[in-house]
Homo-oligomer: A and B are copies of this chain.
Amino acid sequence: MGQVLDEDAMDQPVKPTTLARRATSYDVARKAGVSQSAVSRCFAPGGSIAPATRKRIEKVAAELGYRPNALAQGLISGRTNMVAVLISSLTNLYYPEVLEELTRRLTERDTRVLLFSLRAEGEVDEVLDQVWRHSLDGVISAARLSDAQIQLFEDHRVPLVLYNRVPAKARAASVCCDSAAGEVELVERLLAAGHRDFGIIAGPEDSYVGEERRRAALDRLAAAGFNDVPVVRGDFSYSGGREGLRQLMAGGLSLNAVICGNDQMAIGAIDCAREAFKLKIPDDLSIVGFDGTAPASWSSYRVTSIRQPVRRMTEAAVSMLIERIENENTSAERRLFAGEFVRGASARLA
């Protein structure tokens, strides 16, 4: 405002000091009496520039409210500081927590998050298209990706980190909570407490962790001599849990313990057991879940469960991604985190 500048002032006959459009590095350069590339270097991480020059440029930049245009930067440098986060369904109570942590950590590392919330399988291809088109630096996926899709990331040289899933055959970095170990711990504790009549409300077939948990529970039970454990499936939702319990009970068998694919279904099962079957939890029936979500700890439920170490897992996912973005050739790594047993009060334990 009203500031008089050096020689440049009269080169251009009439130049309004207030630009309609946003100030560019050029505007700053002219007003500061330096070249445009000097301005660029001034804002670049390790740009060599004399302290005095830098100071002058910064002053003018501040006056003009100049900010480097991220699009132009990305176009030329090939780096956008944007990554995609793929989530299958936000309605699963477990994901908001994960999403919150991921975005926060990425933001801390000066990386923007492009959110893609998938409902159908088919949508993945469209999302990947966007990833390439926007030159995203990387992707964290908590959604199902086929081997072919994972291969595309290698072709496009876009770093990828899978969250709570591992690829069938393709190689890719991944961060997981050890579902099998967690499920085994739950089963063993139930066995130790004398439970003998089990039922399982598993997750949907197309869920990686769902299948892993179901398999681990069944295997451990088989090892203990229980071979015909009834299994029904739910969609990880509250009503899925209710419906699952109803189906199990419809068999007419007397259950001791119900193993649910996640906390939300466990909550549904608990409510259903109490309401529809007048059962006391855990006296009449033990119910366990998985994840360690917040609602599972509400005093009406106090679900016995395995808590995923979300903080450490998200931290790992973000670190791995950034590392892969910064270092082209970081080998595929798989990090497996142990879950933490949550005693709760929905299962009778020794």
Contact = CB atoms under 8 A, between A and B. Distances in A.
Contacts of A267: 298
A272 B68 CA distance: 53
Interface stretch (A50-58, A114-122, A200-208, A212-220): A114-122
Contact of A115 (B89, B95, B113, B275): B113
Contacts of A75: 69, 71-72, 75
A91 B80 contact: no
A149 interface: no
A100 B99 CA distance: 12
A26 interface: no
A40 to B, nearest CB: 14
A163 interface: no
Contacts of A299: 271-272, 274-275
Interface string A89-104: 1110101110110011
Interface stretch (A2-10, A31-39, A129-137, A316-324): A129-137
A100 B89 contact: yes
A272 to B, nearest CB: 8
A300 interface: yes
Contact of A300 (B74, B96, B129, B271): B271
Contact of A104 (B67, B95, B117, B133): B117
What 9 A-B pairs have minimum CB-CB distances, sorted nearest first?
Answer: A90-B100, A300-B300, A115-B115, A96-B96, A70-B133, A271-B299, A71-B75, A70-B134, A103-B117
B119 A104 contact: yes
Interface of A: 22, 67-72, 74-75, 80, 82, 85, 89-91, 93, 95-97, 99-100, 103-104, 107, 112-117, 119, 129-130, 132-135, 156, 238, 267-268, 270-272, 274-275, 294-295, 298-301
A300 B299 CA distance: 10
Given A70-B130, A85-B115, A103-B117, 19 more contacts: A22-B156, A67-B129, A69-B135, A70-B133, A71-B71, A71-B75, A75-B75, A89-B100, A90-B100, A90-B103, A91-B96, A91-B294, A99-B115, A104-B119, A107-B116, A107-B117, A112-B134, A271-B300, A274-B300
A99 B103 CA distance: 14
Nearest to A126: B107
Contacts of A116: 103, 107, 113
A107 B71 CA distance: 21
Contacts of A156: 22
A298 B116 CA distance: 28
A117 to B, nearest CB: 5
